Homo-oligomer: A and B are copies of this chain.
């Protein structure tokens, strides 16, 4: 099936291009929040608070990396840790008000960039594209596991 083959090829290539660009443009678009910090904050917002280990597992990062990122975010006042009264080993991480603020602001900026980029797209295409991406990322493992 020639068409499917080359479509897969194209998908691979274009996803790779996008991934390679993303970090640089994130740096330019919101220097105050790296791509990783942004996704960590985002995860905290979604989950409403979780442990550092959860973040590490979820993002396939070493726990030391997460520990340092978390320390930086705390230093910046964007998150806070509260020790778990049950188990003194764990600490729950939560967004602070400032963290929610920054996150919302960066999200707005990113959203604006995406919206502009997609401005000319017919609604049908947007919906389908979104569905494809969700479906792709929902795949368990492969090019980019969680």
Within A110-146, the residues touching B (CB, 8 Å) are: 110-111, 113-118, 121, 123, 125-130, 132-137, 139, 141-146
Task: Say whether A39 contacts B16, CB under 8 Å.
Answer: yes
| Interface residue from B8, B23, B133, B146 paired with A126 (Cβ < 8 Å) | B8
Chain A interface, DSSP helix/strand/loop, else mixed: helix
Query: How many residues on A have C-beta within 8 angstroms of the other chain's C-beta atoms?
Result: 62
Beta-carbon nearest neighbor of A61 in chain B? B24
Max chain B Cβ within 10 angstroms of own Cβ: one of A16, A132, A144: A144
Max chain B Cβ within 10 angstroms of own Cβ: one of A19, A60, A123, A139: A19
Contacting residues, chain B, for A144 (C-beta < 8 A): 18, 21-22, 24-25
Beta-carbon nearest neighbor of A117 in chain B? B142
Give the CA-CA distance A115 to B10 in the complex, in Å: 11
CB of A110 to closest CB in B, whole Å:
6
